[in-house]
Amino acid sequence: AQSVTQPDIHITVSEGASLELRCNYSYGATPYLFWYVQSPGQGLQLLLKYFSGDTLVQGIKGFEAEFKRSQSSFNLRKPSVHWSDAAEYFCAAGEGGSYIPTFGRGTSLIVHP
Amino acid sequence: DTGVSQDPRHKITKRGQNVTFRCDPISEHNRLYWYRQTLGQGPEFLTYFQNEAQLEKSRLLSDRFSAERPKGSFSTLEIQRTEQGDSAMYLCASSLARQGAVTEAFFGQGTRLTVV
């Protein structure tokens, strides 16, 4: 079955430190890939997307993600985390045909001052 | 365009009552999705429309749930005879589908349903 796995439920980093959130997918072909961020009680905001082409994707708020076909991964990175980055992060994937985004369970980012 | 809007933002209802939520997608988007999100989980797909046609429904969408998009614009999600297990955030999203490709989905703020 198609699925998206985010192995880390919580990640704690210090402000100014680098960040990497992991995402793995299980699809027959290369899916469309997304990272969304959600603040408490709010909807989801798109950070970045990968459809094809360059495997290193730049997004908003200084985030980037790298698609690695050999590892079925699409990890999210940020070189220096700000306190305002504390939120829930969701990886999602969609495949040809219906392209319905399927979400991982999310990773909660906690930022220490 | 202000993005995807959902109404109401919050709804508290008694068990057994019916509730209806509304979603207004981004105006040029022909695809509309409904998701459900419970605490500590990612959004789970419920159903989606392309224009006015409901093309897919998840097994999560029991017979008590019905969704419509009568004119291919706004959509409603109705839950009949609500149960406490229906308590969740209901998210609507929209995207543009054309010529076999689909853009990213843009989400609304969600409707938080509490069944007491």
pLDDT at A41 over 90: no
Give me the total of CB pairs closer than 8 Å, taking one residue from chain A and one from chain B: 57
The per-residue pLDDT for A43 is 87
Q: With beta carbons less than 8 A apart as the criterion, state whether A72 and A26 touch.
A: yes
Question: Chain A residues with CB-CB distance to B under 8 A?
Answer: 4, 6, 32, 34, 36, 41-46, 49, 90, 92, 94, 96, 98-106
Contact B106 A46 (CB under 8 A): yes
Q: Which residues of B touch A49 (CB under 8 A)?
A: 104
Tell me what pLDDT residue B1 has.
Answer: 55
Strand blocks (E) in chain B: 5-7, 10-13, 19-24, 31-37, 44-50, 53-57, 65-68, 75-79, 88-95, 97-98, 101-102, 106-107, 111-115
pLDDT of residue B2: 74
Q: Is A16 helix (H, G, I), strand (E, B) or coil?
A: coil
* pLDDT > 80? residue B100: no
Please indicate whether, in this complex, the C-beta atoms of B110 and A101 are within 8 angstroms of each other: no
Q: What is the token pair recorded at B46?
A: 């419920």
Q: How far is B110 from chain A (nearest CA, A)?
A: 6
Lowest-pLDDT choice from A53-62, A98-107, B83-92: A98-107
